[in-house]
């Protein structure tokens, strides 16, 4: 039988980190000691992304004026030297190896539910089945969002781009900032704005940050974020550290930006919106540090699957619009939503999944911790003429989920079919959330939208598939990953977006 074959076969891992993570999690999640040994790891992975990226990763000591763009490309787009067909093959192998390891690790957990073993035993193939990867509709110039940092280049001049850190901080204390103007993933308009912002910084009297995580005295310009849509409407968000500047001096910084990009040589960029944000912390939100619109439109608008969505400065925006349409369409297709389905959209962002599903589903609950995202979602629902069946909830799922599930039971009965779409990259799952999801039998499946398989994600899979921890705590039937649907959103990188379908067994 398949289960016995899995347990006796030797394991294949995508990289050493996956092996270490799975072993650590087994130790953490097992409820009894065992003398059994984890399957030996004697087969090399087809493609080891960790070692590969380490081999091409540049350090500041190695960067010169002549090779800076090549070094940056190696760091940001490590697969750029491969043909696109080769890139897809590499990514397919990586995903298959990762989920093969995840599946084996789940089965090896001593808390595995007996229902999971029965399910796997009668399958004809691995229960973590990876479908063929869907190529990105765009291979170059696909990024609709770029987060750039201000710093000092190889020549010591102020610039904007991506940091390359030194290998030895004591021997080489400087973090270099390399302009991204040669990256094939960036849109031409983003490159144009970046070149002009570089010129703006060079002529401006105030200094830039050497590193956004370590702000020193008299360093002001920190980051620039660019967002654009399919029509090349562009929003620019500039973050500065106020240091000890007076209000008049800060107002002058805003005027300098507007004068350059609207009335000066930067006007050829045709920037639609310029936002300005003062921030003294490393991590910042609009509640703590409000965005100030200093020129142009408050929003830009993007189209996903024939629906129009408002994009604000803090809105989550997929970096590949065409690829995102594939993800959204595929997620809803595999969710199998109908007029009797209630959708939980956990980490809803600007509400794309909620709005696309609202015309089909019986009811939608959209949950997101960011106030601006919920406001965007409500606006987008009205913009697209959605029926009044979406409830927007601002907050964390662990705070609201039990109340929502009780409300669903009271209004619709405990036999109502519920599907949850979860985006852990925006919304990490706690054990309380997982217990709530498992505790309601009407939740028959979960759709994860992931871009990585890290320790936290693997731990989520363990908790979803684990058996009861004790006879005193009923946590409901297990949910296990059965199908993985990968989509390439980031050509030339080792990253892939994928949908993981978890079903209750």
Q: Under the phi-then-psi rule, with left for phi > 0, alpha for psi from -120 to 50, and beta for the rest, what region is 21?
A: alpha
User: Does residue 493 sit within a domain?
Assistant: yes
356 and 471, same domain (yes or no): yes
Count the Cβ atoms, other than its own, within 10 Å of residue 99: 25
149 and 294, same domain (yes or no): yes
203 and 238, same domain (yes or no): yes
User: Does residue 117 sit within a domain?
Assistant: no
Q: Under the phi-then-psi rule, with left for phi > 0, alpha for psi from -120 to 50, and beta for the rest, what region is 487?
A: beta
191 and 293, same domain (yes or no): yes
SS3 380: helix
End position of a domain, from candidates 304, 334, 364: 304
401 and 365, same domain (yes or no): yes
User: Does residue 315 sit within a domain?
Assistant: no
Q: What is the pLDDT of residue 28?
A: 43
Question: Is position 150 annotated as part of the catalytic site?
Answer: no
User: Does residue 445 sit within a domain?
Assistant: yes
| Number of folded domains that form the chain | 3
Domain CATH number, residue 470: 3.40.50.150
Which residues, given as ranges, of the chain have pLDDT below 70? Answer: 1-45, 124-125, 212-213, 282-287, 413-415, 424-428, 468-475
72 and 178, same domain (yes or no): no
- How far apart CA 364 and CA 199 sit, in angstroms, is 48
Domain CATH number, residue 274: 2.40.50.1070
- How far apart CA 505 and CA 503 sit, in angstroms, is 6
199 is in an annotated binding site: no
Element (H, E) at 484: strand 479-487
- How far apart CA 301 and CA 195 sit, in angstroms, is 24
Q: Under the phi-then-psi rule, with left for phi > 0, alpha for psi from -120 to 50, and beta for the rest, what region is 211?
A: beta
HSE at residue 208, side-chain half, CA atoms within 13 A, is 29
Distance of CA 183 to the CA centre of its chain: 21
User: Does residue 189 sit within a domain?
Assistant: yes
SS3 419: strand
Q: What is the pLDDT of residue 314?
A: 85
Structure-derived torsion over alpha carbons of residues 395, 427, 441, 107, reported in degrees to the nearest 10: -160
User: Does residue 162 sit within a domain?
Assistant: yes
pTM, full prediction? 0.86
User: Does residue 314 sit within a domain?
Assistant: no
Please count the residues of the chain: 505
Instruction: Choose the catalytic residue: 150, 279, 451, 502.
Output: 451
423 is in an annotated binding site: yes
Three-state SS letters, 273-320: EEEEEECCCCCCCCCCCCCEEEEECCCEEEEECCEEEEECCCCCCCCE
φ/ψ (deg, to 5) at 384: -100, 10
CA dihedral over 60, 61, 66, 67, signed as positive or negative = negative
243 and 300, same domain (yes or no): yes
- How far apart CA 455 and CA 448 sit, in angstroms, is 15
318 is in an annotated binding site: yes
178 and 280, same domain (yes or no): yes
Residue 214's DSSP bridge partners are 211
Three-state SS letters, 103-117: HHHHHHCCCECHHHH
28 and 73, same domain (yes or no): yes
User: Does residue 118 sit within a domain?
Assistant: no
472 and 339, same domain (yes or no): yes
Spatial neighbors of 251 by CB under 8 A, at least 6 apart, are none
233 and 373, same domain (yes or no): no
463 and 349, same domain (yes or no): yes
Structural domain of 15? 2-112
């Amino acid at each position: 039988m398949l289960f016995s074959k899995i347990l006796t076969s030797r394991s294949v891992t995508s990289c050493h980190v996956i092996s270490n993570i799975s072993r650590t999690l087994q130790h953490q999640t097992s409820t009894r000691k065992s003398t059994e040994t984890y399957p030996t790891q004697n087969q090399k992975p087809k493609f080891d992304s960790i070692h590969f990226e380490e081999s091409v990763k540049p350090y500041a000591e190695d960067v010169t004026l002549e090779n800076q763009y090549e070094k940056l490309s190696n760091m940001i787009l490590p697969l750029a030297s491969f043909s696109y067909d080769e890139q897809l093959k590499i990514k397919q192998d990586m995903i298959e190896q990762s989920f093969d390891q995840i599946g084996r690790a789940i089965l090896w957990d001593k808390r595995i539910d007996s229902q999971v073993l029965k399910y796997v035993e009668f399958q004809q193939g691995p229960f973590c089945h990876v479908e063929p990867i869907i190529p990105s509709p765009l291979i170059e110039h696909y990024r609709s969002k770029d987060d750039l940092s201000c710093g000092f280049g190889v020549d010591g001049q102020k610039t904007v781009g991506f940091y390359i850190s030194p290998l030895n901080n004591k021997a080489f204390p400087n973090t270099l900032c390399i302009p991204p103007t040669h990256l094939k993933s960036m849109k031409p308009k983003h490159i144009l704005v970046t070149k002009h912002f570089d010129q703006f910084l060079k002529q401006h009297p105030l200094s830039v940050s050497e590193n956004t995580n370590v702000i020193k005295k008299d360093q002001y310009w920190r980051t620039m974020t660019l967002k654009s849509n399919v029509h090349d409407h562009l929003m620019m968000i500039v973050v500065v550290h106020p240091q000890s500047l007076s209000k008049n001096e800060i107002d002058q910084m805003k005027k300098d930006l507007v004068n350059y990009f609207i009335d000066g040589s930067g006007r050829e960029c045709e920037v639609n919106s310029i936002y300005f944000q003062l921030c003294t912390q490393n991590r910042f939100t609009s509640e703590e540090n409000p965005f100030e619109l200093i020129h142009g439109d408050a929003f830009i608008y993007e189209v996903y699957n024939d629906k129009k969505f408002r994009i604000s400065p803090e809105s989550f925006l997929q970096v590949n619009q065409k690829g995102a349409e594939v993800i959204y369409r595929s997620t809803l297709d595999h969710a199998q939503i109908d007029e009797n389905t209630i959708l939980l959209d956990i980490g809803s962002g600007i509400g794309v999944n909620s709005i696309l599903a609202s015309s089909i589903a019986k009811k939608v609950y959209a949950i997101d911790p960011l106030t601006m995202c919920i406001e965007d979602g409500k606006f987008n629902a009205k913009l697209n003429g959605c029926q009044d069946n979406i409830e927007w909830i601002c907050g964390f799922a662990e705070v609201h989920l039990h109340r929502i599930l009780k409300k669903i039971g009271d209004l619709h009965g405990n036999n109502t079919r519920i599907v949850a779409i979860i985006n852990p990259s925006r919304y990490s799952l706690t054990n309380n959330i997982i217990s709530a999801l498992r505790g309601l039998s009407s939740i028959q499946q979960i759709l994860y939208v992931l871009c990585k398989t890290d320790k936290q994600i693997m731990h989520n899979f363990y908790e979803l598939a684990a058996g009861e921890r004790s006879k005193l705590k009923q946590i409901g039937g297990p949910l296990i990953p059965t199908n993985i649907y990968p989509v390439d959103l980031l050509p030339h990188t080792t990253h892939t977006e994928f949908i993981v379908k978890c079903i209750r067994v």
